[in-house]
Amino acid sequence: PSICSSLLNVYAKCGSFEEAEELFNTFTERNVVSLTAMLSAYVEHGQGKKALQLYNVIQDEHVMLDVVILLCVLQACSETGSLQTSEKLHFELVSAGHDCLRSAAATLIHAYGGCASMANAQAIFDVIFEPNLVLWNACLAGHAGEGNIFASLQTFEMLRLTGFEPDEVTFSAVLAICSYVGDVLLGLQSFTSMTYDNSIYPDRRHYGSIVDLLGRAGNFNRVENMLPRISVQAD
RNA sequence: AGUAUCG
């Protein structure tokens, strides 16, 4: 049984979701772990809709759902923008207790972000005692996804004032919002600040936003100057 | 044995 789940996980990570699905259908008994592995496979391959379909099916079966599987369903909600399911899972996690809500808070915020409901996301953030950087990043990314430059930068400033060092995920969201609104100056400032002040090595996401930003501004000379530096980076 | 934050 545990070997089956592991094998399913390998199919999910290395193969396609169809292969994982095929293997999953041969299982005679479904438990929480194998179900989670299957849901995770759907989510990672951008099949959030199929994940939610499977979730609806297992609700009629009598499977004990834990926090981990609910997190996977929430990721599916984020992909598909299913607000009503997000709210339902939110309620279940609140009922499960403080520590459950705390460990699921980042995924919940991310889900509400995907549903374009940052009011709900903010409500979660506000009830968490001493939120960590991951939670700040989730909020920042949510605002960035809505194209809300003001809320994004406000969150970024608050995060720093609280005493956190922005990490590569933080700057990834900042550069994304700069690219979204076309703020070339702030984008380049953030990029240099990231590498110089915070000693963060830019990855493909960061370069992607910067190239997009400069490209839209028609500044192809700067893009060309960056290309040699980008190619040296490994993923 | 299965999950966090980067549209």
Instruction: Kindly report, residue by residue over A37-74, the tens digit of the pLDDT.
Output: 999 999 999 999 999 999 999 998 888 999 999 999 99
The token pair that represents A92 in the structure block: 């279940």
Distance from residue A104 (CA) to nucleotide B4 (C1'), in Å?
Answer: 8
CB A206 within 8 A of CB A172: yes
Distance from residue A78 (CA) to nucleotide B5 (C1'), in Å?
Answer: 13
> Which pLDDT does position A220 carry in this prediction?
85
Residue nearest to nucleotide B2 (CA to C1'): A33
In this prediction, residue A225 has a pLDDT band, given cuts at 50, 70 and 90, of confident
Alpha carbons A175 and A178: distance in angstroms, whole number:
5
In this prediction, residue A85 has a pLDDT band, given cuts at 50, 70 and 90, of very high
The DSSP letter of residue A183 is -
- The single residue listed with the structure tokens 């994940």 is A51
- C-alpha distances in Å from residue A140, one per residue of A94, A147, A174, A229: 23, 11, 8, 28
> Which pLDDT does position A2 carry in this prediction?
85
The residue ranking higher by pLDDT, A235 or A122, is A122
In this prediction, residue A6 has a pLDDT band, given cuts at 50, 70 and 90, of very high
Distance from residue A205 (CA) to nucleotide B6 (C1'), in Å?
Answer: 7
For chain A, give the mean pLDDT.
93
Signed CA dihedral, A174, A176, A179, A184: sign only: positive
> Which pLDDT does position A226 carry in this prediction?
82
Torsion of CA A135, A141, A145, A146, to 10 degrees: 60
Q: What is the reported pTM?
A: 0.90
Assign residue A129 a region: left if phi > 0, alpha if psi is -120 to 50, beta otherwise? Answer: beta
Provide mean pLDDT across the span A177-185. Answer: 94
Q: Three-state DSSP class for A129? A: coil
Which nucleotides of chain B are near protein (any atom < 7 Å from a CB)? 1-7
